[in-house]
Amino acid sequence: MSQLNERQRRWLAALEANRLGHGGTQRMHEVTGLDINTICRGRRELAEDLVNCPAGRIRVGGGGRKPLEKK
């Protein structure tokens, strides 16, 4: 898991949680240390066939600090 980026970690944890079935999310939270909401987000993304995930980016654009020029 240490070699994966944050999106890949989320998907792997979600995939294993789905495989484990009932209680899988909690178990993967305990094993990986990922937040439960992060694992649930990965499960939603996998269920939607990764349609809303940008291809070339790890995170969705638009976040973060605004440039100083705009202030």
Residue pLDDT, tens place only, 40-54: 999 998 888 877 766
| pLDDT tens-digit map of 13-62 | 999 999 999 999 999 999 999 999 999 999 998 888 877 766 776 776 77
Domain extent listing, the chain = 1-50
* Per-residue b or e along 9-21, where b marks 16 or more CB atoms closer than 10 Å to that residue's CB: bbbbbbebbbeee
Q: What are the CA-CA distances from residue 31 to residues 1, 7, 9 (Å)?
A: 11, 17, 12
- Alpha-carbon distance of 9 to 7, in angstroms, equals 5
Instruction: Check: pTM over 0.85? Answer yes or no.
Output: no
